[in-house]
A and B are shown apart, each in its own frame.
Chain A
Amino acid sequence: EAGVTQSPTHLIKTRGQQATLRCSPISGHTSVYWYQQALGLGLQFLLWYDEGEERNRGNFPPRFSGRQFPNYSSELNVNALELEDSALYLCASSLVGTIQETQYFGPGTRLLVL
């Protein structure tokens, strides 16, 4: 069974540009989560989508946004990129989105903002 996939694996942008990151959950999973892992910091929760709806949002500015498509894949958009946005962006999925469930992570997208 295929795991969570993310694309691209690496992304280089310049300050002020926009970045779009994509995630495909494990087949049958309806919940998708986005996390940011900056160097020296732990995983920071960004967004949670379930059944096409945004269920929760972490403490990030509105220029971080996303959506979930009918096939449960998801997109994270980061507008007006800042140097501090350079990080590993991890997507995870779970079956139905409950607090006791395991979250399965993808390999991440490494975003570098110059």
Chain B
Amino acid sequence: RKEVEQDPGPFNVPEGATVAFNCTYSNSASQSFFWYRQDCRKEPKLLMSVYSSGNEDGRFTAQLNRASQYISLLIRDSKLSDSATYLCVVGVSGAGSYQLTFGKGTKLSVIP
């Protein structure tokens, strides 16, 4: 089983639609969770951290289910500018160090 698994998509949605991305992770000792966004031929940028209680930032809502080892990202009222690849990221620490593991990403295209 891959450490961090995402549906690669692409998800093609019309403007204004609501779209949800899912991500599963294999290491139950994972301690930090993020969604990063990567535009075509650009570097990844943090979209939001994901907390156990769930969190919302404008049109974006992230949820974490530790029992099921599952993370989700919901985008409401999609904009053309939301078109990008969304990376699910999980952090694991141990032996005085830590490491982030990135999923391969889910590609979103918002269509006019």
Question: Contact size class for A?
Answer: 20 to 34
Residues of chain B within 8 A (CB-CB) of A103 are: 46, 100
A56–B94 alpha-carbon span in the complex (Å): 10
Residues of chain A within 8 A (CB-CB) of B96 are: 55
Nearest CB in chain B: distance from A110 CB, A: 9
Nearest CB in chain B: distance from A88 CB, A: 9
Does A96 touch B at the CB level, under 8 Å?
no
By secondary structure, the B interface counts as strand
Residues of chain A within 8 A (CB-CB) of B31 are: 99
A90–B42 alpha-carbon span in the complex (Å): 10
Q: B residues touching A (Cβ–Cβ < 8 Å)?
A: 4, 31-32, 34, 42-46, 49, 87, 91-93, 96-105
Q: List 20 A-B contacts (CB under 8 A).
A: A33-B100, A35-B102, A42-B4, A42-B103, A42-B105, A43-B102, A45-B100, A45-B101, A48-B97, A56-B97, A90-B44, A99-B91, A99-B92, A99-B98, A103-B100, A105-B44, A105-B45, A106-B43, A107-B42, A108-B43
